[in-house]
Structure 1
Amino acid sequence: MLKVFSHYFPSHTLQQILFDALLLFFAVVVAVVLQLHAEFIDWPVFLPSALAFSVLMVGLNSAMGLYRPASQDSHKAAIARVLLSVVVSLPVAYAVFQVLPWADFTSSATKASVLLLLGGILSMRALVNRRQTSALFAPRILIIGTGADALSVQRALSHPSQGGQEVVGFFAPGVDDPVQVDPSKVLSGKNLLEVAKRLRINEVIVAVRERRGGTVPLRELLDCKLSGMRVLDLSSFFERVQGQVRVDSLRASWLIYGDGFRQNLGRAVVKRVFDLACALLLLIVAAPVMLVTALLILLEDGGPVFYRQERVGLGGRIFRVTKFRSMRTDAEKDGKPRWASSNDDRVTAVGRVIRKLRIDELPQLINVLVGDMSLVGPRPERPYFVDQLAAEIPFYGVRHCVKPGVTGWAQVRYQYGSSVDDAIQKLQYDLYYVKNHTLVLDTLVLFETVRVVLTGEGAH
């Protein structure tokens, strides 16, 4: 894992992106050389622009989710991912051609060849991602602990997104912890540093919650770190590997003294300018879709077109969110708030379609312009549910230290849910966003949202 602009990217994914960008660059160079005589090519102009084109195209597709592991996807999902990449990339590539300084020495045939090469490389990457790949120089990992936490760490590392990282074994600390991992991988030895050096360990993960009374060999862990090994606790591990801050392994001291969770005026101003510019652009582009949606709602079920509801925003302040109405007007005629659910019988026919395509969320762009919401952030909940969740889930209020969003990290990383357990899972992603939010992460979430909408992932 590499941390770039406060966000973690899998090393093997970055290696794939770099390889594909270089492959596309060389393919473009070869295509142009084969179409033209070399003496007609302005190399000082062509080479930098070809490299920029390659990086832009590969970067676009990485943001659209092409490089996410597909080994557990269905064939239908894998095909949808390829088609999405090709459908989005080819028009963008053609538009980029119009601004690149290639017009003087490239023909329509050359541009067509480059587009075909781009489509071929994208398809190749999608096929390769159907198999689990390993990162070069994958670290050798030692897990401290043998219980349930150690097992959850091993399972997280075995996910295809981790690039085949090798768990060498489990070091049993001095605690009566039931062995829930493979007993054959439990290592013997009194000194942690000696065991780690003997096995050429690069990374040590502490999967033990209780650290007092000599449970965890802190001095030996320090020796491991001073010897050049990376040492992670459970909170830092799950933040890095799964893009979430785990509530079950979280302590207030980690929130206070750890990195992240920084809120300042400069960051707020930059985010506000970004929100205003993007929200205005999206409203202009989406205006025809919003008009048609309003007419369909009126034709099917009459008014009102919009649905306004109280939600909890920044600092716990109550505001009214605006959405296209997707449920019957008597959806809560008894006055009791209810979780929305999959295949909810209160949803109208038009509502089912606009929910699937996320069109019902578009009016919230007005909330963004007003300043109640941001484009990206934790989704705002109703006060009734906030009171319930805050009483049951520790640190739930932390998500209110940033503006709620039209979309969010939890929405592109976790399927739709309608229970307290689902709220806990989403909170863990929300805490990651609150801790690490930057414009880079916001842009990544927006691209991922486009992918989720176009592929229908997590629709309800």
Structure 2
Amino acid sequence: MLRKNQRFLTQLYIIADFFAIQIMFLMAYWMKFQSGWMQHESPLPISQYFKWSLVYGAIAVVIGMMSSFYSPKRKKRFIDDLFRIFQVHAISLFVLLSLLFYFKAVHISREYLAIYMVGNVVAIMLYRFVIKRMLQHFREKGYNKQFVLILGAGSLGKRFYKNLLQHPEMGYEVLGFLDDQCDEIDEQFGKRYKPILGTLDDLAATIEQKPIDEVIIALPLEAHHKFPTIINACEKAGVRTLIIPDFFDYLPARPTFDNFAGMPLINVRDIPLDLMSNRILKRAFDIAFALFAIVLTSPVLLIAALGIKLSSPGPIIFKQERVGLNRRNFMMFKFRSMRVQAQGSSDTKWTTENDPRKTKFGSFLRKTSLDELPQFFNVLLGHMSIVGPRPERPFFVDQFKEEIPKYMVKHHVRPGITGWAQSNGLRGDTSIEERIRYDIFYIENWSILLDVKIIWKTVINGFINKNAY
């Protein structure tokens, strides 16, 4: 049933993509030649444009099939689909232009092509988003479910079960567990989780008796010698098998495999920003956004500077040493919100709610996050990014790296003015451990669209920070 449904969805996506491309052909042709917004007449009849639209539709579908664009989507995020849509249509456009050149079809309107290509990407992106949301809604209601059997009722299997319950939109239901230690497991296990249906030796019979679509192997390291028998039984029954490694806590959220000397290796820390193209894209975005923000907020910058100067003696800008990319220190800029401290005073204390060092105007700047605005200049200087983990002082970095696992991973990328943790409310006096979990998720799942989402959430959630002292 699972494979039959999946084939149907795959065929549906292929047909829908092809027809979306033809609909956008009509839209682009109307906008270019019939709407009156642009040139009215085409040097070629509409049949010529339609012919090439059919060719392009076929090219896009074939390239999508070759690049696994129509593979199962249930476990995938929509953002992965977005990247693949751009990729498929960029390659398809290159193939189309090559064919136009080869067949000397030089009279196809460039403006039409631009409208057509943008329309294709937008139309496919929108309809796929709608379909994904609809499928998630139906799965939450109990339709189109897939059934899972978990091998291993230990901490790994129970953790997977609990995590799966938090994602009803994926449409998975656990039928039960198999475990060789079932006689030693608490009798209350079946009430808190799903029942233990037998031992690992009962796998083949269980698959035969129950409508199982996927088997999840969540066994400890000492049980790895049983994997060949388990996998053979699953493959014989035509059931998908997935393995949760017992050491998964050491792996990134989305691990990748490398090939080294002919052997597959798991990349323990795969970071998208290690790619030069991604770094260039992010840096260009940072510079453009920082320049725009400085121009946009220049009246606020001037008012804040004037307020600081009138409220207390001392410099307008406060410089503080922070740890940045690759553990290198830099001076981070902020609007001064405290009275000038004596030379050599300690920089190893947190700011408290009623800190006597703060000025009244400085408290306002902190609460509204306006004291962070000078950091756009840090972005232009290359010390920081618009989005990234918040940088910390060297004293606290030395302290946290001993106390908090994976704390130093945050220094693999440039620190940011805002971040995934901050956009989710983890600002000021909040859990450092929780922030690091969010920071690592951001580092391992970076995309330019995620940066835009974080900036948008930061703006929507407002700049008032109740945890800022």
TM-score band by shorter chain is 0.5 to 0.7
- Per-residue Cα deviation, 1:224-278 (whole angstroms, up to 9, x for no partner): 33444121136649978xx489xxxxxxxxxxx63242689x9465455334433
State the AA in 2 paired with 1:287.
I
Displacement of 1:120 after TM fit? 9.4
Match of 1:60 in 2: none
Q: 1:2-401 to 2 correspondence within 5 Å?
A: 25=21, 27-29=23-25, 31=27, 40=46, 42-44=49-51, 101=109, 128=134, 131=137, 133=139, 139-146=146-153, 150-160=157-167, 163-174=170-181, 176-178=184-186, 179=188, 182=191, 185-190=194-199, 191=201, 193-194=203-204, 197-198=207-208, 199=210, 200-206=212-218, 211-212=221-222, 217-226=223-232, 227-228=234-235, 229-233=241-245, 236=248, 243=253, 258-261=266-269, 267=274, 269-302=276-309, 304-323=315-334, 325=335, 328-330=337-339, 336-338=348-350, 348-354=363-369, 361-368=375-382, 372-373=383-384, 377-400=388-411
Give the letter for the 2:280 counterpart: V
How far has the Cα of 1:297 moved from its partner? 0.9
Output the CA distance in 2 between the equivalents of 1:351 and 1:18: 53
Deviation at 1:392?
Answer: 1.9
Contact 2:322 2:394 (C-alpha < 8 Å) held by counterparts: yes
* Equivalent position SS for 1:188: strand
Which position in structure 1 is the counterpart of 2:453?
Answer: 448
- What secondary structure, in the 3-state scheme, does the structure 1 residue paired with 2:267 have? coil
Partner of 2:92: none
The separation in 2 between residues aligned to 1:46 and 1:449, in whole angstroms, is: 37
Q: 2:421 aligns with which of 411, 416, 420?
A: 411
Pair 1:169–1:106, CA change in 2 (3 A): closer
Return closer, same or farther for 1:27/1:44 CA change in 2, 3 Å cut-off. closer
Structure 2 contact 147–172 (Cα < 8 Å) conserved: yes
The TM-score normalised by the length of structure 2 is: 0.58
Summarize the Cα distance change of 1:131–1:118 in structure 2 as closer, same or farther, 3 Å threshold: same
What is aligned with 2:5? none
The alignment partner of 1:258 has SS state of strand
Partner SS for 2:332? strand
Shift of 1:280: 2.8
Distance across 2 between alignment mates of 1:337 and 1:18: 60
- Supply the distance in 2 between the matched residues of 1:106 and 1:318 (Cα, whole angstroms): 46
RMSD: 5.6
Q: One-letter code of the match for 1:225?
A: I
TM-aligned CA deviation for residue 365 of structure 1: 0.9
> Does the 8 A contact of 2:418 with 2:455 survive in 1?
no
> In the alignment, what sits opposite 1:427?
436
Shift of 1:204: 0.7
Cα distance in 1 for residues equivalent to 2:456 and 2:13: 18
Question: In structure 1, what residue type is equivalent to 2:377?
Answer: P
Q: Deviations over 1:291-332 (max 9, x none)?
A: 223113124333755442222234433222234x2x722499
In the alignment, structure 1 segments of 5+ residues that lack a partner are 1-13, 54-65, 69-99, 246-256
| Largest Rg, 1 or 2 | 2
Deviation at 1:25, TM superposition (A): 4.2
Does the C-alpha gap of structure 1 residues 31 and 397 become closer, same or farther in structure 2, counting only changes over 3 Å? closer
Post-superposition Cα deviations, 1:136-169, rounded to whole Å, max 9, x if no partner, equal 9865322344466544422322334752222222
Deviations 1:380-408 (A, max 9, x none): 222232233222223323433x1333268
Distance 1:261-1:163 versus aligned 2 partners, 3 A rule: same
The alpha-carbon distance between structure 1 residues 138 and 195, as it changes in their structure 2 partners (threshold 3 A), is same
Aligned to 1:61: none
Q: Aligned partners of 1:173 and 1:340: how far apart in 2?
A: 54
- % of aligned pairs identical? 15
Structure 2 CA distance for aligned equivalents of residues 118 and 454 of structure 1: 28
Partner Cα separation in structure 2 for residue 43 and residue 385 of structure 1: 64
Q: Is the 8 A contact 1:29 1:50 kept in 2?
A: no
Contact 1:132–1:163 (8 Å) recurs in 2: no
- Closer, same or farther in 2 for the Cα pair 1:380/1:32, shift >3 Å? closer
Q: Which has the higher contact order (CA 8 A, sep 6+)?
A: 1
SS of 1:182 mapped into structure 2: helix
Amino acid at match of 1:415: G
Counterpart Cα distance in 2 of 1:161 and 1:304: 54
* Structure 1 residue identity aligned to 2:349: P
